Amino acid sequence: MESQLRKAISCTGCLNITKYFQYDAHTSYNAKFNSTAYNAQILMRVDINATDERSSNQLLKDLNDTIVYKEINSLVFGNTTYLDASYGAHRTKNLWKEYWGFLLAACILFAILTLLVIIKLIRMTRDKRDPHQIQEERNLLSIFLFVLILIDLALDITFISNHGRDYIWIFPATIFFLIFPLFLNFIFACIIIVKEREIIQGKKLGVFYKWWKSHRIIVNTALLLSCLDIDALRIISSRDKSGRVFTDEGEKSFLISTVAVILFEEIPQLFIYVTYYKFHIKPAIVPILVLSSCVIIIVFKIIFLIYSIIHYQERKRTNKIQQK
């Protein structure tokens, strides 16, 4: 087909059909994923190089006219059945030219928010550090990360809606790794709450059980929010003076759940988005945003995980000293 198109527009070496393709989302919504005959239109990418006689714009116009009127030119004699005359050949969008203002504003806003959080943490760490102070720091990071996760979730849903049919595997893969982590977070949260409620310190009920009895609505709300992020449970202890609603085992469970979410949600999603970005044909802003968001979430979750591990070790050392 490539040689036929070159002959049709009278150029040699001016165009190259890439080996990758994607389905047209506008037609793939009506196609059956389980059918061997996937009737969606296929989009192919053609790289055009200018020649001494014609510019790339002129070559693109000639290519478009050739495909649109393929029934009355040399393409009628070739194997060009899959060339859609009603679609023709369109230039891909220059995303930076179209969205540079939005992207620049988003980067500036994100940088400002990150800087404010860092400044707040620095000011807090200058003061005398007690368990409640440490808990406030972690709550601040949890809330900041939770907002990022909400934005990431909105972008994930937008990606599925707009590009879930670009490839046959995209829709089921993205849906699975969007829903499965919600159940995973919820299960971890339930396990932590059940274990903490059953802990008896000495002959008295544990701190969490007392907190849970007095603030059931807050705990249940945090349990629902923990489907998005397990660290939502940490925020419920922000009003406790001790700052230690959860036991050491509970804190350890938080660390394990965070690692599990990174491995079973963020990493697979990153792999999906990178693979899509590598093979996609039609440039769009949503895949770029969702890939960037995924990377940012992973980076901040790793930072938060390291921060939590450090304070978990500090807490264990403090408990050992107090026991002595």
Domain boundary among 77, 110, 139: 77
Q: Is 133 within the bounds of a domain?
A: yes
Q: Taking a C-beta distance cutoff of 8 angstroms, is the pair 144, 113 a contact?
A: yes
The three-point CA angle 220-224-230 to 5° equals: 105
Note the pLDDT of residue 20: 73
Residues 65 and 170 in one domain: no
Element (H, E) at 18: strand 15-23
Q: Could you tell me how far CA 291 lies from the centroid of its own chain?
A: 6
Spatial distance between the Cα atoms of 145 and 91, rounded to a whole number of angstroms: 38
- Co-location of 66 and 102 in the same domain: no
Q: Is 117 domain-assigned?
A: yes
186 lies in a domain? yes
Domain co-membership, 220 together with 303: yes
Radius of gyration of the chain from Cα atoms? 27
Alpha-carbon span 216 to 88, nearest angstrom: 61
DSSP 234: G
Do residue 220 and residue 302 come from a single domain?
Answer: yes
Choosing from 28, 45, 77, the residue where a domain stops is 77
Query: Of 320, 299, 317, nearest to 309 (Cα)?
Result: 317
Residues in the chain with pLDDT < 70? 1-2, 25-40, 76, 78-82, 120-139, 199-209, 211-212, 234-245, 319, 321-324
Phi, psi of 22 (to 5 degrees): -150, 160
Query: Does one domain contain both 121 and 24?
Result: no
H/E element, 316? helix 285-323
d(CA 231, CA 129): 21
Smallest Cα–Cα separation from 267: which of 298, 296, 242? Answer: 298
Distance (Å, whole) CA 121 – CA 133: 10
215 within domain boundaries: yes
Final residue before a domain boundary, out of 47, 77, 107: 77
- At 33 the pLDDT is 44
pLDDT at 36: 44
Contact 160/171 with Cβ under 8 angstroms? yes
Phi-psi group of 41: left, alpha or beta (phi > 0 → left; psi -120 to 50 → alpha; rest → beta) = beta
Number of folded domains in the chain?
2
Spatial distance between the Cα atoms of 95 and 46, rounded to a whole number of angstroms: 18
In a domain, 87, yes or no: no
Residue with tokens 């969007």: 178
Note whether 100 and 51 are same-domain residues.
Answer: no
Do 54 and 152 have their domain in common? Answer: no
Are 99 and 219 contained in the same domain? Answer: yes
Q: Which domain holds residue 56?
A: 2-77
Same-domain pairing of 109 and 175: yes
Report yes or no on 82 lying in a domain.
no
Residue 50 sits in the same domain as residue 158:
no
Helix axes 267-279, 285-323, angle to 10 degrees: 160
- Asked if the structure places residue 105 within a domain, the reply is yes
Q: Say if residue 177 is in the same domain as residue 310.
A: yes
Ramachandran angles phi, psi of 229, nearest 5°: -150, 125
In a domain, 85, yes or no: no
Q: 39 with 27: CB under 8 angstroms?
A: yes
CA 86 to chain centre: 35
Is the same domain home to 108 and 202?
Answer: yes
